[in-house]
Amino acid sequence: MVDFVLVLVVLVPVFLGILQLALVLLVRNTLAAAASEGARYAATLDRTPDDGAARTRAQIEGALAARFAEDVRAGPVMVHGAPGVEVVVHVVVPALGIGGPAVELTVTGHAIEEQR
């Protein structure tokens, strides 16, 4: 019985740490994909950066939760010397998604604007 408790004292924190890492990576990858898609959408003809920010928010709300889509900004930027659009998403991911110490993430998506 003592062996079981000693093993659990080590394994439970390791398991929870791996779970937290997986959650943060899932959120980061999803946000990066949404930001990139929003930037590409805003860079098409007849679209504005606000359209890209709205598209990014919609994708984040559909894939994760609305609380992750609260701080989305988009604006014009130069991408390797060409006019483009940048979408920036900033979120705070709580530990294991339920509270506790949090991890702050900021991801960006860039796209070169289409020209006529």
Percent of the chain with pLDDT over 90: 72
Q: Model pTM?
A: 0.87
Q: Residue 16: phi, psi to the nearest 5?
A: -65, -35
Averaged pLDDT of the chain: 91
Number of domains in the chain: 1
Burial of 116 (C-beta count, 10 Å sphere; 0-12/13-18/19+): exposed
- Which of the listed ranges 29-38, 87-96, 100-109 does the model predict with the highest average pLDDT? 29-38
Question: Which letter, b or e, does each residue of 8-34 get, where b requires 16 or more Cβ atoms within 10 Å of its Cβ?
Answer: eeeeeeeeeeeebeebbeebbebbebb
Look up the domain containing 67 and give its range: 2-112
DSSP output for 43-55:
TSTT--HHHHHHH
Q: Predicted confidence band at 13 (pLDDT cuts at 50, 70, 90)?
A: confident
